[in-house]
Amino acid sequence: MTAAVTPSILRTMFFTSKQTVSRLLPLFIFAVTLNAAEVTGKWEGTGELKFANGESRDSSVYLDLRQDGQEVAGSAGPGPDRVLPISKGKLDGNKLTFEVVAPVESSGDGLVIFDFTVSGDKMEGTVKCARFSGKLSLKRS
């Protein structure tokens, strides 16, 4: 015996599906919003830098960031009085990347690349340029 699909069954299926979607959509939007990091603000931390000549040195790190959607602008440096503007700042989920054009004598070729993973009020990542590379750890201040 086969069941016939009647117009009333179709109406029930359509309205039930529509109600389910309307109930689940806000939860989906909320979940997506929770996964997006927010990086606007001042960040301070330390890094362990390894130079091409084999030397290692600890360094302070300071970021002042402004986020607009996925775009990130601001400045970076060893302290609030010694910063340079960042470029190509992008936040993709919890991954933050940006570049700084630094004086050649400090970076080797002028380009310093930062790559972070953001977790709430903390971020960890790396810095790379021709002269050195290292691991960084920062907290929102």
> Which three-class secondary structure string do you get for 65-124?
EEEECCEEEEEEEEECCEEEEEEEEEEECCEEEEEEECCHHHHCCCEEEEEEEEECCEEE
* DSSP classification of residue 52: T
Distance CA 131, CA 141 (A): 29
**Residue range 41-140, CATH number:** 2.40.128.20
The string of pLDDT tens digits covering residues 76-125 is 999 999 999 999 999 999 999 999 998 876 656 789 999 999 999 999 99
Q: What is the pLDDT of residue 29?
A: 45
Residue boundaries of the structural domains of the chain: 1-35, 41-140
User: pLDDT-derived band of residue 67, with 50, 70 and 90 as boundaries?
Assistant: very high
Confidence (pLDDT) at 9: 63
What is the mean predicted confidence (pLDDT) over 55-67? Answer: 97
pLDDT of residue 85: 97
CB atoms inside a 10 Å sphere around CB 15: 10
